[in-house]
Amino acid sequence: MSGLTEEQINKFRSEGLLVVPGFLSQDEVTAIKSACTQLVQEMDPQKHRGIFSTTNHQQASDTYFLESGDKIRYFFEAEAFDREGNLVMDKFSALNKMGHSLHTLQDDFRRISFSDKVQAIARSLEMKEPAIVQGMYIFKQPGVGGKVTPHQDATFLYNDPQSLVGFWFPIDDATLKNGCLWYVPGSHKSEVTRRFVRLQGGEKLLEFRGEDPVFPDSEWISAPVNKGDLVLIHGKVFHKSERNASSLPRHAYTFHTIEMEGCTYSQENWLLPPEGKELPRLYSQ
Ligand code: FE2
């Protein structure tokens, strides 16, 4: 397996985001989409009422979310339910995401996540003992999928020294119309100024600490990609996406790698392995 070229590695290091064209075969893209369809078909929305919104963080007090790190759980758009809690649209349209352990619990997602070619990318980036966390599928459905506000992924999965890398696989073409990624090149050279931490002993289970800088519009660059491409996202690069105002879906599968050698994973992170278990290592599969 080839991994990244020197030019690609340099671009990732200087910009904090890299598009690797044609990383997945069309068969792999189809397999992921079919696996997603099957999971949703089998899901009873009345049993999975976690509502996910990055705008108002309604999930912050939600144990459903906190316990999802080693499960497959379903998170709906804020507008999916009426005041009485009834679903007001079909369940496919209503979903924001599902996760956060698709990479260990579903065969098609696991095969791609731990594939030789993903391992080769990690080795190109000189990861010694990476673990995979937070395997999730993002729906961003037409007309419903909300915007994701600017953030660094390391806000949510903090480690020291910072080693987080996101692997983001578009399962549909991601365009300016359906809410592709945007990022600020070079912003990964800044510090992590906002943290999302779990709290102990109180009614409130999670909170944000600190504030993010605000970047002017002129510094943001769009990253439209085709299904099957791979986008590598540095843990500290600021990125965002707009709402999907088009008539086409913008599905994506994503997981994160973190270095376990010489690096401390914060015990304040929302996602912790269950008592007595370890995070799954990328190279051991
Ligand atoms: Fe992100």
Ligand 1 centre and the CA of 126: distance in Å? 22
Please indicate, yes or no, if residue 129 is contained in any of the structural domains. Answer: yes
Query: Within 10 A of 3 (CB to CB), how many other CB atoms are there?
Result: 17
Helices (H), 42-176: 63-66, 91-94, 102-105, 107-113, 116-124
Identify residue 263 by its one-letter amino acid code.
C
Mean pLDDT of 102-126: 98
Please indicate, yes or no, if residue 246 is contained in any of the structural domains. Answer: yes
Q: Residue 238 and residue 240: Cα distance in Å, rounded? A: 7
* Structure confidence at residue 60 (pLDDT): 40
Ligand 1 centre and the CA of 47: distance in Å? 27
CB 210 within 8 A of CB 195: yes
Please indicate, yes or no, if residue 272 is contained in any of the structural domains. Answer: no
Residue 50 has pLDDT above 60, yes or no: no
* Structure confidence at residue 64 (pLDDT): 84
Q: Residue 84 and residue 183: Cα distance in Å, rounded? A: 38
Residue 93 has pLDDT above 80, yes or no: yes
Please indicate, yes or no, if residue 224 is contained in any of the structural domains. Answer: yes
* Structure confidence at residue 1 (pLDDT): 63
Ligand 1 centre and the CA of 156: distance in Å? 9
Ligand 1 centre and the CA of 233: distance in Å? 8
Q: Residue 226 and residue 113: Cα distance in Å, rounded? A: 19
Task: Please give the mean pLDDT across all residues of the chain.
Answer: 92
Ligand 1 centre and the CA of 238: distance in Å? 8
Ligand 1 centre and the CA of 117: distance in Å? 22
Ligand 1 centre and the CA of 73: distance in Å? 18
Q: Does residue 212 sit in helix, strand or coil?
A: coil
Please indicate, yes or no, if residue 284 is contained in any of the structural domains. Answer: no
Residue 49 has pLDDT above 70, yes or no: no
- Highest averaged pLDDT of the listed ranges 49-58, 84-93, 150-159: 150-159
Q: Residue 36 and residue 109: Cα distance in Å, rounded? A: 9
Instruction: Report the percentage of the chain scoring pLDDT > 70.
Output: 94
Please indicate, yes or no, if residue 271 is contained in any of the structural domains. Answer: no
pLDDT, tens only, 148-198? 999 999 999 999 999 999 999 999 999 999 999 999 999 999 999 999 999
Please indicate, yes or no, if residue 281 is contained in any of the structural domains. Answer: no
Ligand 1 centre and the CA of 55: distance in Å? 13
* Structure confidence at residue 61 (pLDDT): 43
Give me 79's structure tokens: 């507008």
Q: Could you give the number of structural domains in the chain?
A: 1
N- to C-terminal Cα separation, the chain: 16
> Which residue segment(s) compose the domain that 91 sits in?
6-265
Ligand 1 centre and the CA of 53: distance in Å? 13
Give me 65's structure tokens: 């979310």
Please indicate, yes or no, if residue 1 is contained in any of the structural domains. Answer: no
Ligand 1 centre and the CA of 136: distance in Å? 11
Ligand 1 centre and the CA of 239: distance in Å? 6
Mean pLDDT of 228-249: 97
Mean pLDDT of 239-252: 96
Mean pLDDT of 60-75: 83
Ligand 1 centre and the CA of 145: distance in Å? 15
Ligand 1 centre and the CA of 236: distance in Å? 10
Ligand 1 centre and the CA of 212: distance in Å? 14
* Structure confidence at residue 285 (pLDDT): 62
CATH assignment of the domain containing 186: 2.60.120.620
* Structure confidence at residue 58 (pLDDT): 45
Ligand 1 centre and the CA of 119: distance in Å? 21
* Structure confidence at residue 243 (pLDDT): 94
Ligand 1 centre and the CA of 84: distance in Å? 31
Ligand 1 centre and the CA of 146: distance in Å? 14
